[in-house]
Amino acid sequence: MSGGVQNSADESRDAGGEPISSLDRAKSTGRRRARAIRARHGTADPYRIAEAEGVRIAEDAWDGLDAVRLLGTYANGVITLYDAQIGRVAADADFDHTALRTAVCAHELAHYELETRAPDWKDRDRRRPLARITGWLGIGRPSRPSHRRLEEHAAHAFTAALLPDATASLIERLE
């Protein structure tokens, strides 16, 4: 066990012992991590959790490119929120800017959590640099989702579990 998070082989089977897909495992990991971090800090507020974890939150006015919508990033202990992009997406979806910004912060907090407490799919490949690179790129085993895709699914599930009311409202508006 690491940081209250279990990384075991039994995560690849459901309660009935049936195998589950990599994407379902990633989503389960995200939900489990959200519950653990909320319990660890006694709050679901991603800003307060980030502060308690020592993660800095930066704002950037970058307005993106015509074809690219990037709302936030996480790298090296810093969550960067692209407010112009968040504002544009919120306006296009007729969604509250603050609620979307909070959801983006939670999503990027999930990337921090997955980086600092690596799930089993990342842990295995730390021992094999080539496998880590090909897994991230999604090449080599076409039947398996890329690590990037698994991490994004885990981050989405983390956000939905940490902020169920805000994300439910967002999903309803985007459908």
**pLDDT-derived band at 19, boundaries 50, 70, 90:** low
Q: Which two tokens stand for residue 97?
A: 């800017």
Query: Is 3 within the bounds of a domain?
Result: no
* Proportion of the chain above pLDDT 70, given as a percent: 70
Size of the chain in residues: 175
Query: Is 114 within the bounds of a domain?
Result: yes
In 3D, which of 138, 162, 132 has the Cα closest to residue 30? 162
H or E element: which one contains 135? Answer: helix 129-137
Query: Rounded mean pLDDT of 31-41?
Result: 97
What is the number of domains present in the chain?
A: 1
User: Residue 37 in contact with residue 113, Cβ under 8 Å?
Assistant: yes
Instruction: Count each helix (H run) and each strand (E run) in the chain, helices first.
Output: 8, 3
Query: Is 30 within the bounds of a domain?
Result: yes
Query: Is 1 within the bounds of a domain?
Result: no
What is the residue range of 18's domain? 9-174
Give the three-class secondary structure for 76: coil
Sheet hosting strand 78-82, strand order edge to edge: 56-60, 78-82, 72-75
pTM score, two decimals?
A: 0.78
Q: Which two tokens stand for residue 10?
A: 């039994």
Query: Is 53 within the bounds of a domain?
Result: yes
Query: Is 17 within the bounds of a domain?
Result: yes
User: Residue 104 in contact with residue 72, Cβ under 8 Å?
Assistant: yes
Query: Is 151 within the bounds of a domain?
Result: yes
On average, the pLDDT of the chain sits at: 81
The pLDDT, as a whole number, for residue 130 is 64
